[in-house]
Chain A
Amino acid sequence: MGSRVAESKPVLRLDVRDVASVPMTVTIGERSEPAADHPAIFDVDGLNVHYGDFHAVKDVSLQIRKNEITALIGPSGCGKSTVLRCFNRMNDLIEIARVSGSIRYHGVDLYGSEVDPVQVRRHIGMVFQKPNPFPKSIYDNVAFGPKIAGFEGSMDDLVEEALTKAALWDEVKDKLDGSAYALSGGQQQRLCIARAIATSPDVVLMDEPASALDPIATLRIEDLMQGLKEDYSIVIVTHNMQQAARVSDRTAFFTVDMEQTGQRTGVLVEFDETSKIFTNPGETRTEDYITGRFG
């Protein structure tokens, strides 16, 4: 990693396509064999997060794989958002947050001293629970990120492509100059998704992206995610277990453990293929939670 860094300012030097295609094209199996696991993009090992003295998340290890949707589920306060924020170093913005353990992103230590969190967030986009478009036009919302990143191609094409991928183009193509605030909640959320993917990120993180939306808008976002995973890897936090079951390839179930100190700490109980989690989970605690035998 160190030798790759040429500029004086620490920068996450990663051409994602490069990195992904070199060491990770493991084997091209015979056609008859089942597809190999997608390569891991994030390799989380022994992750711990503290907020001051509070141990919010304890010893989490899991992998996020390329072109997959990974769902994080579990009761309120178990640390889903905390873990999600570790993936793009958003916790850096919380002064009292302290992250330890290792998160490797394409093999690179994400929390290494030479890594620039701003660069990280360029590769790893985020969509929040409440749609949060900028107070600008629809067009500018999408164009903003690429402009900052120094995008030099046709901005019109890029805006159209991002809006199309976000399944919003047909609804807004005649009012691109109109305010983003004039859109419905579901449209605003899709605009935020378009904004997140306009910078061609590697990963899109979503924290309860559909919780403020009606069922139809929710299904649209879910459908959209299936299309997006062709190009991106997605990590989604959701309270809606059926949503996790519908959209994700893998599910991580977190819960809250009562520590001896009386503190409530988030732990990862089980991480497996979603179909396994929802038909035959390995852990009783997972089963109790997803079947509603949990309080």
Chain B
Amino acid sequence: MTELRPHFHDELAQLEGDLVLMGEQATAMIRDSVAALAAGDVAAAAEVIERDDPVDDLYLGVHSRWLETMALQTPVAIDLRLMSVILHVNSHLERIADLAVTVAKITQASNGLPHDPTMVSHLQEMGEIVASMVRAAMEAFAARDLTAALSLPEMDRPVNRLNRNMVREVARLAGDPELLEWGVRMMVVARTLERAGDNAVDVAEQLAFLLTGEFREFTDASHHD
């Protein structure tokens, strides 16, 4: 097959390459922010916050090159869908990095408070799953693997369940005001990780749209079980 628009298609590949980079960085930020939280390591949390800037730079770069490409190349069909997907995935990944920053900031703000090891282990479990979801979504994207994309809601289910159980776990801490304050903050962490998981599911939804041309929400991404 002769390639008649090599420059345009190179540009698409480069935009996608930047998303891969952002996906890797966002994944690592989620993982490291939860590790910093579990270790009560304020310096590590600060380091996660600093890593948001390079992600934002990538985000802005993709956005401005996206606009230029759109204006100059008038993409159609699979190229048009890929452009739409790039724009969405770009903001989902930027969002995931932001959510890691939120976790890191809560770690900083909770410095010195007592903590509950069971809840910490649950948050670690959530962080693990969410990080692997982001990676799985990006790998599915790179491989154009619809089956893998469709498995994301399944991966998200334990995240939602762990998040919902947080209320009950915090209730156990009600007797101790300091522990309770910490617990309420950890509820926010759980909610934050749960949203990061939703963003990973959204990336997979975008991939399904790219491959099928039909957009449908993976309905149980954020609700129900």
Contact = CB atoms under 8 A, between A and B. Distances in A.
B207 to A, nearest CB: 15
Interface stretch (A49-57, A182-190, A225-233, A277-285): A277-285
Interface string A279-295: 11100001110111111
Interface in B66-113: 74-81
A288 B78 CA distance: 9
Interface in A252-293: 277-281, 286-288, 290-293
Interface residues of A, number: 17
B73 to A, nearest CB: 9
Contacts of B213: 279-280
Contacts of A286: 77
A213 interface: no
Nearest to B214: A280
A21 interface: no
B216 interface: no
Nearest to B8: A292
B78 A291 contact: yes
Contact of B77 (A242, A291, A295): A291
Interface string B1-22: 1111100110000000000000
Given A279-B81, A279-B213, A295 B2 contact: yes
A245 interface: yes
A11 interface: no
Nearest to A276: B213
A292 B77 contact: no
Q: Which of B9, B76, B213, B214 has the most CB of A within 10 A?
A: B76
B81 A292 contact: no
Given A279-B81, A279-B213, A280-B213, A291 B76 contact: yes
A62 interface: no
B2 A294 contact: yes
Contacts of B8: 292
Interface string A43-67: 0000000000000000000000000
A277 B80 CA distance: 12
Contacts of A241: 76
28 contacts: A241-B76, A242-B74, A245-B76, A278-B77, A278-B80, A279-B77, A279-B81, A279-B213, A280-B81, A280-B213, A286-B77, A287-B77, A288-B1, A290-B76, A291-B75, A292-B4, A292-B8, A292-B9, A293-B1, A293-B2, A293-B3, A293-B4, A293-B9, A294-B1, A294-B2, A295-B1, A295-B3, A295-B4
Interface of B: 1-5, 8-9, 74-81, 213-214
